Chains A and B, each alone.
Chain A
Amino acid sequence: MESVHREVPENKLQQKLKELLTSDAFEVLPLVLFLAGTLVFFAIFADGFLTTNNLLNVFRQISYSSILALGLGIIIIGGGIDLSVGAVAALAGVISAAALEAGLGTPMAILLGLVAGLGCGAINGSMIAYMGIPPFIMTLALGFVNQGIIYVWTQGYPIYDGFTDAFLFLGIGYVFDIPTPVLILLLTLIICYLFIGHTSYGRYIYALGNSEDSLRACGVNTRRIRLMAYTIAGFCSGVAGIVMTARMQSGQPSVAIGGGLTLLLYSITGVILGGVDLSGGKGSLFGILGGTLFIGVLTNGLAIMGFGTYRQNILIGLALMVALCWNVMRVKK
């Protein structure tokens, strides 16, 4: 037997191809093409698109859906899904608006909004991790519970009263010419990146998305990690809800319609376009930001050209489908 040192045909080309197909750069290829394409298109056909002011506007517009997308991305990297992010943001926003209306002050309004987000994430996480409820169903249900609560409570009326300048600063203020929501987005990005890219918890979330069994065999409490991922996403939703409410200068119940579907569409498209593997275990937060940036450019440019929200949604939905096809093709190799 030992003399049979035949080289097992290791197809170098095949291995190289496999490496290329699974490389991070290849992952975001459609995103780069989309983004470049839309930028060029709008620069030519949309008057006033390519101005500093408008580009800052794009960033401001994507700020809260991007914060949502970061949280959602962490869940998907961990092998889960959260359909409730939009509705959680809506609830957090309405709660902080109500706190302002009740005269509890800015810090309390922010705190209550964040607690609402954290709480929803923890509920999702514990039901999924410890009760074994499929995340798709659990988060869908929670989204509609939130919608119901918001509408029963507000009767569908926006909450305007009692907004403080300090609170509004979070949505419409500037720091050195940079809109506050953009700064909050960048801050969230940095914190999430440090967490998922540089701590053992973050590494376990990636590993969880690869194989829960293998991670458990390594002696890691996988349930706790799963709960952690959903709780972080809940927190991000809380932050997004507060920024959104400050930007709209009101607590808007209508955001929760359909369980926060529009926000969900925006953030999930950003995540998938950004190269996060829908089956989990892989993805970068910077990619996600690229994905939501594309959506921002698309909706902004289309709006300038006179296309309404519904037509924009058609295009975003289509972009999500293309990104999904790309994702599935790559997984099949």
Chain B
Amino acid sequence: MSGGVSVAATAPHKYGVDVARKSILEMKGISKNFGSVRALDNVDFEVYENEILALVGDNGAGKSTLAKTISGVHQPDKGEIYFEGERVRISNPRASRALGIEMVYQHLALFDKLDVASNLFMGREIFMPGFLGTILKFLDKKLMYKRSDEILQEIKIDLDSSKKKVGVLSGGQRQAIAVGRAIFWGTKVVVLDEPTSALGVRESHEVLELIKELKEKGLTTVIISHNMQHVFKTADRVIVLRGGRRVGEIDTKTSSGDDVVKLIVGADDLT
């Protein structure tokens, strides 16, 4: 993990730990049971505006359950959620989208047999003006392709056309499109579930660079990851879950990957 520490020193950092920060998303005392399994146990979780927060933990630590609670797939059995200071109830994925939270799933959630433009605009199509669009729901395909090409440029993805089928793209391009789709809609918070797990070295680097660029543009990002190097390269702050509980919070500027790993596996318990 020594490589991670050296990179961490150069990681972008706007806030010191002791500066008062404004939270955009705050969850208090979240618990979630699946049958007799306690997936989340009284978890507090907060994301500050314009930070890159990493959510880490071993398999079964509750990362995905927490992420799905944020995106409205799961409802917590107990606990409160605040978004931009207001108490909210996120009862389904549509509700979370409406708040400005976008989730990019581990399995990408792309439509392989459809083209890039269809993927980027799925569920948010641009309609033709007038009767054709409002009543008959006719798509303005031309405008959608044009906007898609602009989005591709924005996320610096090297593709000659947004008419290409997503299924033939490389892993990095696909991930960039999934992220691009998530960020392009006036989104405030993006939750990325294992954004680099299926990618090669160069592709991972590109996706992480994209995430850092999005921060420059004011976006708040939550990354769920197993890869400590990637976490320290991008994240400002790390929250660690273990066995459904929050066991620690770490500033990537002042801590090392070893500290995080200790928290993840519960090394103190072993000694």
Contact = CB atoms under 8 A, between A and B. Distances in A.
A211 B168 contact: no
Contacts of B165: 19, 22
Interface stretch (B12-20, B26-34, B78-86, B108-116): B108-116
A206 B121 CA distance: 13
Contact of A200 (B3, B97, B127): B127
A115 interface: no
A281 B109 CA distance: 14
A217 B182 CA distance: 11
Contacts of B233: 1
Interface string B183-212: 000000000000000001111010000000
A4 B168 CA distance: 26
Contacts of B114: 203, 206-207, 210, 281
Contacts of A201: 137
Contacts of B250: none
Interface stretch (A6-14, A59-67, A85-93, A161-169): A6-14
Interface in B119-159: 122-125, 127, 136-139, 141
A200 B125 contact: yes
Contacts of A194: 138
A198 B139 contact: yes
B95 to A, nearest CB: 9
A64 B114 CA distance: 30
Contacts, number: 89
Contacts of B97: 219
B201 A4 contact: yes
A15 B7 CA distance: 34
Contacts of B118: 203, 206-207
Contact of B138 (A198, A206, A210, A219): A198
Interface in B91-121: 93-94, 97, 103, 105, 109-114, 118
Contact of B110 (A2, A8, A209, A214): A214
Interface string A193-218: 01000111101001101110111111
Interface in A172-208: 194, 198-201, 203, 206-207
B200 A8 contact: yes
B227 to A, nearest CB: 11
Contact of B112 (A210, A213, A219): A210
A15 B168 contact: yes
A19 B136 contact: no
Nearest to A10: B170
A19 B161 CA distance: 14
B126 to A, nearest CB: 10
Contact of B123 (A199, A219, A277): A219
Contact of B109 (A18, A203, A213, A282): A213
Contact of B136 (A10, A22, A199): A199
A199 B112 contact: no
Interface residues of A, number: 34
Contacts of B168: 15, 18-19, 22
Contacts of B112: 210, 281
Contacts of B266: none
Interface string B220-233: 00000000010001
A257 interface: no
A220 interface: yes
A199 B137 contact: yes
A5 interface: yes
B180 to A, nearest CB: 14
Contacts of B3: 1
A281 B113 contact: yes
Interface in A206-239: 206-207, 209-211, 213-220
Given A22-B167, A215-B122, A206 B139 contact: no
Given A2-B205, A218-B124, A219-B97, 5 more contacts: A15-B170, A201-B137, A203-B125, A206-B114, A215-B122
24 contacts: A1-B7, A1-B229, A1-B233, A2-B7, A2-B205, A5-B205, A8-B203, A10-B170, A19-B165, A22-B165, A198-B138, A199-B137, A201-B137, A203-B118, A203-B139, A206-B114, A206-B118, A207-B122, A210-B113, A210-B114, A215-B111, A217-B93, A218-B109, A277-B113
Interface of A: 1-2, 4-8, 10, 15, 18-19, 22, 194, 198-201, 203, 206-207, 209-211, 213-220, 277, 281-282
Nearest 9 interchain pairs by C-beta: A218-B123, A8-B200, A210-B111, A214-B109, A281-B113, A219-B94, A282-B113, A199-B137, A218-B122
